[in-house]
Structure 1
């Protein structure tokens, strides 16, 4: 059965700042607090290739992207049978503002690994041939956090996020495992959280670097984002890229690693 596409005018209203500034509970968490913060303990190495990376040279981003975490929520919701239609959720997540809280330190390892890839001439010989590729993996010291701006969410979607969050077990590549820690609401975020370049106000942390992080586009629909769909994803329509300040700065490098740290709290 075909589903009706949701338009911006048909989406439910978002939570008001007056509500978020009171002690009233939202998503099962007491206020006040505009930000719903979900914290996770990384339990393995993380890797998420930059959009410009190739299959041979796989440079990784230092942190997960809003797109990756929103997709992780949808994946966990489907796997665990939460009663929400993903086709209805995607437009609601597309308007949701999400910022990433970085750990105190991150170390990127530079490795050469053996892989098997399709040959250029696919008509003859084996379907895959041995090759080598450059890969990067990130070790985190400290928790990863994901902060949703509740003023960009409706009450039902906020409750769904808080309910699904403990079921998220990995992000990025399947080996990038996480363990859910806790949720809370905050009135303001610290400088340990990412921010888009265009939204910056005030003094920057001393240790930062810039990266393009992807997010759901303004017209994102589940059919386009679904890996098993034949629909093509369109840049800036279904998936957008935002130049982002990441509060981790390079402090040391060596032949096989790069060490990043955040400013102390």
Structure 2
């Protein structure tokens, strides 16, 4: 069962790749499945608490964890290349050091498509999706626009060497199918369990300089 939610970017977006260092971090063009699901957990816990997720075989935890996420993107992406100062703890003191970051302007709405197993799962996710107002770094705001029961055809596809599609390849994280709530709880010592997927984002480079890179959807 598929449905989609549409968000309008209202600020510059930045979400560094998980294998980046603090000193140099290129950004994903769109929110990863992991970041979307963590935003859902954040809203669910803020509103209803986390006890329901800690139950053994929690169906609510499975509703979020097992959702398959796809995307439909349009328009342009303008990546601003910035050097910022971050605080690094060295010798017991915080010291400033330069760090590379990308901040992205998205010209059009983004449609996030969910594939879930039941109507109950759909209703549960829609209880919280319209409350989400940022993905990635705090301050990367998105405005909820609406739901669609008949979503558009996804144009961001997982990389398949036997079925070549032109575009930009980026590595995205998702919650592992065998993860438990303790593996997504920031206050638990258990490590995160993530799967990695390579997606092809259908964009073509139009212009670039030392300060920016402009991509446009194909």
Tell me the TM-score normalised to structure 2 length. 0.90
Q: 1:178 to 1:199 in 2, by over 3 A?
A: farther
Distance 1:46 1:188 in 2: 23
Counterpart position of 2:94: 128
Q: 1:83 to 1:224 in 2, by over 3 A?
A: closer
Counterpart position of 2:139: 175
Pairs aligned (count): 214
Using the TM superposition, give the Cα deviation of residue 90 of structure 1 relative to its aligned residue in structure 2, in angstroms.
3.0
Instruction: Please give the per-residue CA displacement for 1:157-196, whole angstroms capped at 9, x wherever unaligned.
Output: 21011121110011000111111000012266143xx111
Superposition map of 1:68-87 within 5 A: 68-81=35-48, 85-87=52-54
Superposition CA RMSD, Å: 2.2
Distance 2:49 2:118 in 1: 17
Question: Does the aligned pair in 1 maintain the 2:87–2:97 contact within 8 Å?
Answer: yes
Instruction: Please give the per-residue CA displacement for 1:78-112, whole angstroms capped at 9, x wherever unaligned.
Output: 22338982342333333221112223111110001
Q: Any unmatched runs of 5+ in structure 1?
A: 1-33
Distance 1:63 1:170 in 2: 12
Question: Does the aligned pair in 1 maintain the 2:3–2:151 contact within 8 Å?
Answer: no
Structure 1 segments, 4+ long, off by >6 Å, are none
Tell me the TM-score normalised to structure 1 length. 0.75
For structure 1, which segment, 140-149 or 180-189, has the greater mean C-alpha deviation from structure 2 after superposition?
Answer: 180-189
Q: Any unmatched runs of 5+ in structure 2?
A: none
Q: Which has the larger radius of gyration?
A: 1
Which of 188, 202, 217 does residue 247 from structure 1 map onto? 202
Instruction: Please give the per-residue CA displacement for 1:13-62, whole angstroms capped at 9, x wherever unaligned.
Output: xxxxxxxxxxxxxxxxxxxxx42110001111111111121111121111
